[in-house]
Structure 1
């Protein structure tokens, strides 16, 4: 079967470690289901694997991908939940399972024509969502949903700041926040993305380096090192900063005096539960919100698509079809 996989690692040139070609079709373990993939989307987690920062359990080569939507052998349509975990070990939340993993790290990546997943990870796909839209949900959109509503507990009227304008989580956060009645400020370094963020519905878009008022109830940060000081400075006393990624690095100094004197809540967040994915899908169907798809391309162009992702010029999610 056709698949995009890491055959090596390269910290400096991750795309050089990527291959697209034939891989053996996976055999489902007990309790797992074979799925024919209709669409899958790219994530920065795949890039970390190509760089060697993430070590797959089965070693290399390793099929990449944590997001997909497809059909089982009976023709049932599903969105694939990418988290492998036991809710019982996570006190009701599989993302808190100490043994939690994701499909690609466990050797069952989704950038392939055929995949196998646990039956529990199959969430029915509604007819209202296209295959490409459905493939955007399990990582970026689920992450944004959990950050906003599970972690930050954002409520209508809250002021939310989103660090970054073009990534999958950022665009999802803007659209979800607006649909939920939140006031949205976006920070970006790219003037073109600033215009597009405003088109998505951001109430205010400011350029990186601008001094921000400390008035936000919630700050969502997936950038990390480059934006951390700004994120802590932009939240009101008693407000919440939610961190779910660090695409610019992990070494971010923190002003501890500001943290405790202003009683800022700092929360980490990673992907989301199957239940939250069901809730997200229900939210999209009921509210008419749809994932922003940057582009849809054949799976055999995965190398080119990862290069685009790394360039920082995409706006929304990059989707590939086997």
Structure 2
């Protein structure tokens, strides 16, 4: 099968596109013929170093994906050959204490596609049947593929960790990135207000056109001061951020007393000043979050079935041009998901 895979670590010179052995389908697994995938920050990380992530090279890249069921067990009842499906990228053990209580995203032996095992930048992937879900009706393959990481991550951050309520206001950092845009869309569909930040005026303008209730230019404005002005000195109920050290202080200062901050990344550094005095005096709550459970993915897909929301797609490149897609994400110029068309 054709696949994009890593031969080493460095730059695009270690990304090859060519023939790889098709994945063996084990009992209980579903073989999916992939049609689309999207590029995520971890793809750049795995290309650059993959430090701290147990993996073996060569390894097929890609976390999320959508396609068609090619092969499955004869006794599989929830899926059928030819069905259009979307893949959850986290392969959990199903037996540890976290899996047994339904929090499989915390599995002690979690293996992620494109990180610990071959991923979705390929014509085929084989995963446990529990990781394969029917694609929402009316959605195309690229839109559906985009749900498996960014929208699922934002869904857990907002509704599981922050427990967002319709009357609240959310501050979303770094609008234009996949998780941030997903958060903007989900907050608005939940009936809450959202303020966004970016260092790019064009991205802020587009976010306002999408429904953002306020926008802060991070390069020219004091973020916390601007947020307090927009909320009549109160602050926001929830902060969604994946930037890390560069915005941590502003994020904490933007919260109302008792507010909640949820973080899923640290692209500018993971060792910010904790500001413990502010945290305990104002009784702020900080949550870490990554991806989402199988049940949360099911709930997200059910929501998508009845919602007009669609992920924002920045660009689509052919599998042969995957390095172009990687460069687009790495540049930071994208607004929405950078996708890869496989078939």
| TM-score (norm: length of structure 1) | 0.95
Q: Say which of 110, 135, 154 aligns to 2:145.
A: 135
Count how many residue pairs are aligned between Structure 1 and Structure 2: 319
Offset, 1:128: 1.7
User: CA contact under 8 A between 1:34 and 1:114: conserved in structure 2?
Assistant: yes
Offset, 1:249: 2.0
Q: Deviations over 1:39-60 (max 9, x none)?
A: 1011001111112134554411
Distance in 2, Cα, partners of 1:58 & 1:310: 22
Q: Say which of 319, 326, 332 aligns to 1:306.
A: 326
For 2:239, the equivalent position in structure 1 comes to 219
User: CA contact under 8 A between 1:221 and 1:245: conserved in structure 2?
Assistant: yes
For 2:8, the equivalent position in structure 1 comes to 8
Offset, 1:156: 0.4
- Segments of structure 1 that go 5 or more residues without pairing to the other structure are none
User: CA contact under 8 A between 1:108 and 1:116: conserved in structure 2?
Assistant: no
For 2:84, the equivalent position in structure 1 comes to 77
User: CA contact under 8 A between 1:56 and 1:107: conserved in structure 2?
Assistant: no
User: CA contact under 8 A between 2:153 and 2:291: conserved in structure 1?
Assistant: yes
Q: Deviations over 1:214-240 (max 9, x none)?
A: 511000011112111111111111010
Offset, 1:95: 0.7
**Aligned ranges for residues 32-51 of structure 1 at < 5 Å?**
32-51=29-48
User: CA contact under 8 A between 2:173 and 2:196: conserved in structure 1?
Assistant: yes
User: CA contact under 8 A between 2:3 and 2:19: conserved in structure 1?
Assistant: yes
Distance in 2, Cα, partners of 1:293 & 1:130: 11
Q: Say which of 57, 66, 69 aligns to 1:60.
A: 57
- Decide whether aligned partners of structure 1 residues 87 and 180 sit closer, same or farther in structure 2, where only a CA change above 3 A counts: farther
Q: Cα RMSD (Å) of the superposition?
A: 1.4
Distance in 2, Cα, partners of 1:7 & 1:200: 40
Distance in 2, Cα, partners of 1:130 & 1:27: 27
Q: Deviations over 1:222-276 (max 9, x none)?
A: 1112111111111111010000111222121211101111110000001001111
User: CA contact under 8 A between 2:170 and 2:237: conserved in structure 1?
Assistant: yes
| TM-score (norm: length of structure 2) | 0.90
